[in-house]
Amino acid sequence: MATGGKALRKFSGAFQALAQKVGPRSPPMTVKDFTKACSELQSLINLMGEETSTWFADYGRKVEQIQSRSRGAATLKELVEQDMANNTVKAADSNTTILLRLMRALQVVKVLFEQLLKGRGVEFQSAATTAYMVVFGAYHKEPIQNMVKRAISSLPTRAWLMNKINEEEGDIFIEMRKYVDASAAVINYIEELFTSNGLEMNW
């Protein structure tokens, strides 16, 4: 199997496995399980070209930060509770802030895949713009939005991306749909973690 196919399959498979651990009777999600799934995104990002890799460079660092903090907090719930106890929830480098940023990265990919799944006529750049605006439009002012949109214009075409993944288009769509469905459960879990503790997600 080609490297691109492996990257997409590993990514979707990792989130399917993680989503299966989410449920009303399931134990709290561990930092180890969460970061293991998140780390699979990096290989997929690298397929999308240097521009995309540059955007997501901070993503990899945030995954590593959360991993390193698991020594003092085994679950995502404990990470958030630590910040609440220390009154550092909205600190720039807090567990909670990093978790929120990682969740948004997962949301961007989810919306991106949802757009691409609409059909062959949806270009990668258009899908990326929609994903960015849906997830970050409410938080970024117009100058930043314009800068990001200019950067998106340098992204590769849909055909280039599909060729790089090196799988049959039908198989690519199957893996994208798997991620969309699985990530919804994971994202909802994190959102519930915030709301159940009375925390906002608007920073």
Residue 190 sits in a domain whose CATH number is 1.10.3520.10
Which pLDDT does position 2 carry in this prediction? 44
- The answer to the question of residue 200 being in a domain is no
Q: What is the rounded CA–CA span in Å between residue 99 and residue 42?
A: 16
Instruction: List, for residues 3-48, the tens digit of each pLDDT value.
Output: 555 889 999 999 999 999 998 889 999 999 999 999 999 888 877 7
- The answer to the question of residue 119 being in a domain is yes
Q: How many domains does the chain have?
A: 1
The encoded tokens of residue 86 equal: 């220390």
- The answer to the question of residue 201 being in a domain is no
- The answer to the question of residue 91 being in a domain is yes
- Return the DSSP state at 75: B
Domain with 188 in it: 3-195
Q: What is the mean pLDDT of residues 142-147?
A: 91
- The answer to the question of residue 98 being in a domain is yes
- The answer to the question of residue 151 being in a domain is yes
